[in-house]
Amino acid sequence: MPAISLETDRTGWTGSFAAVVELVAKDLLSDGAPVNNMTVESEDEGVVNGSLTGVEDGHLIVDGQRIEIADNVVGFYVND
């Protein structure tokens, strides 16, 4: 079971889910260290596993890959 699990059912996209994902990601990175053992599920990229290293311009940076958050990310997990 993930230590942190944020999911949406993909219906009725609102800005609130994207805002929560971005806020949580920024908080996790606030100590300056990458967040290892992450899983991000998105409509465009599918499932991406790796280390979260940044959040910029509405995108998560996971192992160097930019993943748009709004209207794209449907799952955000920090695994044990």
What mean pLDDT do residues 47-55 have? 98
pLDDT at 69 over 90: yes
Q: pLDDT digits over 7-34, tens only?
A: 887 766 566 889 999 999 999 999 999 9
Three-state secondary structure call for residue 74: strand
The total number of structural domains in the chain stands at: 1
pLDDT at 41 over 90: yes
Q: How far apart are the C-alpha atoms of 28 and 16, rounded to whole Å?
A: 18
3-state DSSP percent of the chain in helix, strand and coil, to 5: 20, 45, 35
pTM for the structure as a whole: 0.89
What mean pLDDT do residues 37-62 have? 97
Containing domain of residue 38, as a range?
4-78
Residues in the chain: 80
CB of 70 within 8 A of CB of 18? yes
Of 19, 15, 16, 66, which is closest to residue 40 (Cα–Cα)? 66
pLDDT top residue among 13 and 53: 53
